[in-house]
Amino acid sequence: MNLFITGATGFIGGSLAVDLKARGHAIRGLVRDEAKGRKLSALGIEPVLGDLDDAALLTAEARRAEGVINAASSDHVTAIDALLEGVKGSGKPLLHTSGSSVIGDDAKGDVLSPHIFDEDTPFIVEPDKQARYAIDNRVRAAQGARGIVLCNTMIYGTGKGLSRDSVQIPPLVAQARKSGVVRIVGKGINRWSNVHIDDVTMLYALALERAPAGAFYFVENGEASYAEIGEAIAARLGLGPVRSWTVAEASREWGEGHARYSFGSNSRVRGKRARRELGWAPRHDSVTRWIREEMPLD
């Protein structure tokens, strides 16, 4: 297929672009500057100069492509509307990247939530995440197209494109390297489901080929607490005991949104539908083992 991917220079989008190209697809990727565009070209990905605010460009690219993947912002309404307009009535797949913080709570690291969601479970969505949930539903209701939402959990592993690092574990590692102490929010008993980037890209490829219109998939293969993740980072870096931060303290390092929802919340889900419907069979099942044995040290 001829595919158009937003976020092609990012961790998820770049990995998708490289893997999907290896599967025989032709990729055009949205990029904001010419320097990164040249780097994309070196990977065999055709750069499209622009950004998520350029609605006319996004609509035109979606019309031109045989399939579209939004791997940039999960929350950019203008971009989503432009892509939806471009695939309207075409029957084309539009894959939208969401995130499982949509069902994240406000545990501050000190509460283990009993709630574990799958695709058939009524979601509990915090007020701050209602807008993202509304975008997910908008994509699923795409008119005359295959609108599909992939709701990623904590992604780990090494990116294959221009961006090597994901958005949750690397900031913990960077802070630990800078201070010499691994910090977590609260007691770190809050748990997140997780998935390896190689299993993520496998599922996107399957969804392009087989997913029905309106599908929603949690992308998950295991879970861990932040206390367990922190201990694995400390072991990998040869540091001492993990220490606690309040949300306020963590916010000064990572910002309140990340401190509260990326590091302090529970986000526990099970990706049942992709296994059942698409035959997805993820191969990596332990984020802590990856940290202890494979996480890059440079």
Cβ-based neighbours of 293, under 8 Å, separated by 6 or more: none
Provide the pLDDT for residue 274.
Answer: 98
Q: State percent of the chain over pLDDT 70.
A: 100
Which one has a higher pLDDT value, 92 or 124? Answer: 92
Residue 145 banded pLDDT, cuts 50, 70, 90:
very high
Residue 70 banded pLDDT, cuts 50, 70, 90:
very high
Cβ proximity of 50 and 57 under 8 Å:
yes
User: For 39-43, 124-128, 213-217, 224-228, which range has the lowest pLDDT when averaged over its residues?
Assistant: 124-128
For residue range 76-86, list pLDDT tens digits in order.
999 999 999 99
Provide the pLDDT for residue 216.
Answer: 98
Provide the pLDDT for residue 203.
Answer: 98
Residue 126 banded pLDDT, cuts 50, 70, 90:
confident
Query: What is the C-alpha to C-alpha distance for residues 115 and 268, in angstroms, rounded to an integer?
Result: 7
Q: Once rounded to an integer, what is the mean pLDDT over residues 102-109? A: 95
Query: What is the C-alpha to C-alpha distance for residues 230 and 228, in angstroms, rounded to an integer?
Result: 5
Provide the pLDDT for residue 298.
Answer: 84
DSSP-assigned beta bridge partners for residue 93: 146
Q: Once rounded to an integer, what is the mean pLDDT over residues 136-144? A: 97
Query: Is it the case that residue 204 has pLDDT exceeding 90?
Result: yes
Provide the pLDDT for residue 6.
Answer: 98
Q: Once rounded to an integer, what is the mean pLDDT over residues 227-231? A: 98
For residue range 187-203, list pLDDT tens digits in order.
999 999 999 999 999 99
Cβ proximity of 195 and 219 under 8 Å:
yes
Provide the pLDDT for residue 220.
Answer: 98
Rounded to the nearest 10 degrees, what angle do helices 77-87 and 130-140 cross at? 0
Residue 204 tokens read as 């996107």
Provide the pLDDT for residue 53.
Answer: 97
Q: Once rounded to an integer, what is the mean pLDDT over residues 258-285? A: 97
Cα 282–283–289 angle (5° rounding)? 120
Query: Is it the case that residue 278 has pLDDT exceeding 90?
Result: yes
